[in-house]
Structure 1
């Protein structure tokens, strides 16, 4: 009667105290009552449960101990009967009951420190093929975190079974109502897996969401691949590089001003002069001034030109100086390996109109500061496509970026398989927009977390973690050439070099373009009969005027 009263009075207390207590003392009147009380407990690895039962038949009691181990989940348990001096202990390293001599309440305060043998206990592992962290292709297993896990499993004497999560668009799962659902983290939150790894970040979105993170393995830097800068000498606009945009605008403004000023002075001079000025029209003056600026036609300054000769003389000096400076600077630019501008920060990407195209839905709340207007604008430029072909087509336009991980001086993609010939046109930026620490994820209340942390700390201190991760990335780099190519940055050289044909590529392209335009204009003239007749008549009139040049009343100057 006493046990029955204690049993019924303790049932409401279980729900009240299990959130703050790690040890429980359960008294039940029979086995079914014990099962009822246990079902109300979480029974995590940190929980220690002392179960007291009345004297029951030995066969029934042994059958309970052998077949009801799963009822206690991951907790450490000691089961005994009221009139027995022998107890049966269940540890989370050995999941079967073994008889021990009962020593009272001291057992509740004992720890499992030093126990490193799980006796081949099965651990369910959630992971999938992702970047350099994990590769599953039975029986071939590879990846930096895979190598670390296999070493820890060997040390703890664990038998592993892999579970590959379903779903390709959300392989890690979706955080909904404060709990991870679906994907790798969903398997842990629903207790379908014990541990998971695949480049998981230790972040706030994993606190109190059904999973627990291990100690950090390695710090990683998140970077973007941006279009690779190209040499200025290989672009047609490279010939304009010696001068800045402001200087070009100033030269054009001066040129237009002189082109307007020259016919105006010529017109005023014609009112008082006996000579007919050839600069009266804007069309003729700007062509002559352009020829002088390009150093193709130097005009003589004579006394008969009147006040126009001063403007022409100083324009000659201006053209000579500008031309000399430009030619010297152009030679310097062509012999020095200068490159086009490269976006580095998120602000640069936003201001230049870049996009981020991916096949996975990124966790923007973790990657970016959503209170920053620039980051908010950048998140609106994320495009999620369904196929790799769409991703490749977007990257070939060179207006997209690719996110990846930079560590040990090596860049690796997260989980997207992009062709090497596409990535040849990209290189890693020098700006780390966010940093994370990697770790293993465990289901809440896992019995393995404590032992994994002890082993991982030991492996970090002895350099094993660094060795495994770097060796795996270097081995993967031999197979995936892009990992080396994208880290070869295009840098401006401070030293000059010999002038080569490649340096003149932009000038040659500009020249060929001009020839094509001239050819097109000439063909259009030949195809137009009225225009051709007009041009022939105009040339004849000009020739006749030139023959009778000195027969006119005024002399052309």
Structure 2
């Protein structure tokens, strides 16, 4: 308890009664920041609360305790700890403790203990468990968790904390928990069949695992729509949100996005992914590129720069090697011929004459291998335009979308998301002016219109657009798809569960989600329940170009040739100088000998 006190401020509630001597001693002993809070305050409070119970006037209006109003203003978000102190023991003390615990459970506050001071300085500490084999969603009888032994001067049981949500919520003993799901494909697919419901997706896998791990029985609450408009409203989770906020549903499962589903009184569980909101447009409606684009975009810009640099290095090596090698042909010493020789070797033309010296031959051998690789790759990519048709031109950003005559639209909630990003781009402001809120039909019908009629651009989640596009292709056995713009207009985190604010289910569910994320099980479920293209967020009809990664081997050969040829060149230069030096010495010695011997011969 001391650790909990040191971590929190202590609210002191006035206008509750005179605490007496015990209250004065607590105020003096607790060297901690204290806040005086009026009992009629309306703002939720967090902190460590200590209540000195007045046994004579505990109950008001039958079973309602005098602390009901104060407890209702304490935020039940797991950050507040409550201690109720009874200064004396009487036969009905456990009954009074149960009344207080029932008041706390009505507000779903479970981090609370009752301290009962007994005879001979004995102290008993009680708490309550809302889920046991004997009852569900009830405070039940108080549970003795520890007591103070006055003879030994310590607690009987050594416990790390008297406040433990984990021990109270780790096993729900098969109790029924009211749950309601939302249809948000592909993560949460909830569809009605002939006589049953079909549930699939990563969100459903998490829900089933959570029910098994926490040992509760899901009681699915179904709100049947009466018409198409209400069906669309239910899919937008507004009904589910209100039921969770008012306590009609204990847990909402599926997929819930911060931008779409944030409402007062609702708390999100741990977010497991980030949604990308973008545009779905008809396939192949982009501007036709220039014919020269196919000749220049086979390589990336860094690849072209490296090719140009390698040509310049080759010309430099040929010119300067031949200039410093006496036995090399004179024609290689000209920049014009060195450049022509390099270009001819790239395009595969016959070159005569050939290098004569060994260093230049070593370099040219590596250069020819490099040129063969580069030329073969370029010809292969360019030749594929004949055998494999080039992909149809696609829109790449919102500026391209504005240049079309497509109808711009989506659901009403998507309009709010787009409008929230209006200040970030002029293009978004122009798109908002053209935005049309579509009829409340199932989203699949709007995607089908984009693919078949090709007159609509729709704004939605990227994964949802890809899911319905693949669903249309599978249903019609057609190769036509909807193209999804690769840019994200905005992003938002999403969670598979929502709860009422202050729900005791939040902490145990978050603990389980953390373990699922750390072990990679959520990614595995993504791969199993969704197509490979959806799990990796890839875009259809994306072309590939040659990058430096593809040309890595060719450049290793080229620069190895540069290094090896340079070493051979320097070795040959040094060996040539030493041989010339020895020849000069020999000639000088012979000349000196002749001069010394010549007079005697004469």
TM interval, shorter chain, is: 0.5 to 0.7
Matched residue SS, 1:352: coil
2:410 paired with 1:354: no
**Aligned equivalent of 1:49:** 82
Cα 1:357/1:394, change in 2 over 3 Å: farther
2:18 paired with 1:6: yes
Provide the rounded CA distance (Å) in 1 between the counterparts of 2:431 and 2:43.
Answer: 47
**Aligned equivalent of 1:386:** 440
Kept after mapping to 1: 8 A contact 2:57/2:66? no
Provide the rounded CA distance (Å) in 1 between the counterparts of 2:112 and 2:217.
Answer: 22
Provide the rounded CA distance (Å) in 2 between the counterparts of 1:227 and 1:351.
Answer: 14
Q: Which moved more, 1:4-13 or 1:162-171?
A: 4-13
Structure 1: 5+ residue stretches without partners? 175-181, 233-237, 245-330, 495-557
Cα 1:472/1:24, change in 2 over 3 Å: farther
1:278-309 per-position Cα deviation (integer Å, ceiling 9, x unaligned) = xxxxxxxxxxxxxxxxxxxxxxxxxxxxxxxx
RMSD: 5.0
2:173 paired with 1:119: yes
**Aligned equivalent of 2:59:** 32
**Aligned equivalent of 2:523:** 466
Match of 1:447 among 497, 504, 509: 504
Match of 1:90 among 128, 132, 135: 128
Cα 1:173/1:49, change in 2 over 3 Å: farther
Matched residue SS, 2:405: coil
Match of 2:397 among 333, 336, 345: 345
Provide the rounded CA distance (Å) in 1 between the counterparts of 2:18 and 2:91.
Answer: 18
Kept after mapping to 2: 8 A contact 1:11/1:37? no
Q: CA deviation at 1:352?
A: 1.2
Matched residue SS, 1:15: coil
Cα 1:374/1:368, change in 2 over 3 Å: farther
Provide the rounded CA distance (Å) in 2 between the counterparts of 1:350 and 1:4.
Answer: 65
Q: CA deviation at 1:120?
A: 3.1
Provide the rounded CA distance (Å) in 2 between the counterparts of 1:446 and 1:59.
Answer: 26
Q: CA deviation at 1:332?
A: 12
Kept after mapping to 2: 8 A contact 1:359/1:387? no
Cα 1:229/1:89, change in 2 over 3 Å: same
Matched residue SS, 2:527: helix
2:456 paired with 1:400: yes
Match of 2:217 among 152, 155, 159: 159
**Aligned equivalent of 1:150:** 208
Matched residue SS, 2:507: helix
1:23-67 per-position Cα deviation (integer Å, ceiling 9, x unaligned) = 342524344246242243245152333334674647955884897
Cα 1:88/1:14, change in 2 over 3 Å: farther
1:240-289 per-position Cα deviation (integer Å, ceiling 9, x unaligned) = 98699xxxxxxxxxxxxxxxxxxxxxxxxxxxxxxxxxxxxxxxxxxxxx
Structure 2: 5+ residue stretches without partners? 1-14, 24-35, 133-138, 149-153, 294-382, 547-602
2:489 paired with 1:433: yes
Matched residue SS, 1:216: coil
Q: CA deviation at 1:134?
A: 2.2
Provide the rounded CA distance (Å) in 2 between the counterparts of 1:401 and 1:222.
Answer: 13
1:408-431 per-position Cα deviation (integer Å, ceiling 9, x unaligned) = x993249x9999449935233333
**Aligned equivalent of 1:252:** none
Kept after mapping to 1: 8 A contact 2:65/2:99? no
Kept after mapping to 1: 8 A contact 2:110/2:165? no
Match of 1:168 among 231, 249, 258: 231
Cα 1:387/1:423, change in 2 over 3 Å: farther
Provide the rounded CA distance (Å) in 2 between the counterparts of 1:51 and 1:108.
Answer: 20
Superposition TM-score, scaled by structure 2 size: 0.52
Cα 1:365/1:443, change in 2 over 3 Å: same
Superposition TM-score, scaled by structure 1 size: 0.56
> How many pairs were matched up?
386
**Aligned equivalent of 2:513:** 456
Matched residue SS, 1:438: strand
Matched residue SS, 1:41: helix
Matched residue SS, 2:430: helix
Match of 1:23 among 36, 46, 49: 49
Match of 1:369 among 421, 436, 443: 421
Kept after mapping to 2: 8 A contact 1:224/1:404? yes
Provide the rounded CA distance (Å) in 2 between the counterparts of 1:30 and 1:424.
Answer: 75
1:107-135 per-position Cα deviation (integer Å, ceiling 9, x unaligned) = 99634265332333443323222212223
1:153-232 alignment to 2 at 5 Å?
Answer: 153-164=211-222, 167-171=230-234, 182-203=238-259, 206=262, 209-229=264-284
1:385-420 per-position Cα deviation (integer Å, ceiling 9, x unaligned) = 13359735565331212445446x993249x99994
Cα 1:355/1:6, change in 2 over 3 Å: farther
Provide the rounded CA distance (Å) in 1 between the counterparts of 2:82 and 2:488.
Answer: 48
**Aligned equivalent of 2:30:** none
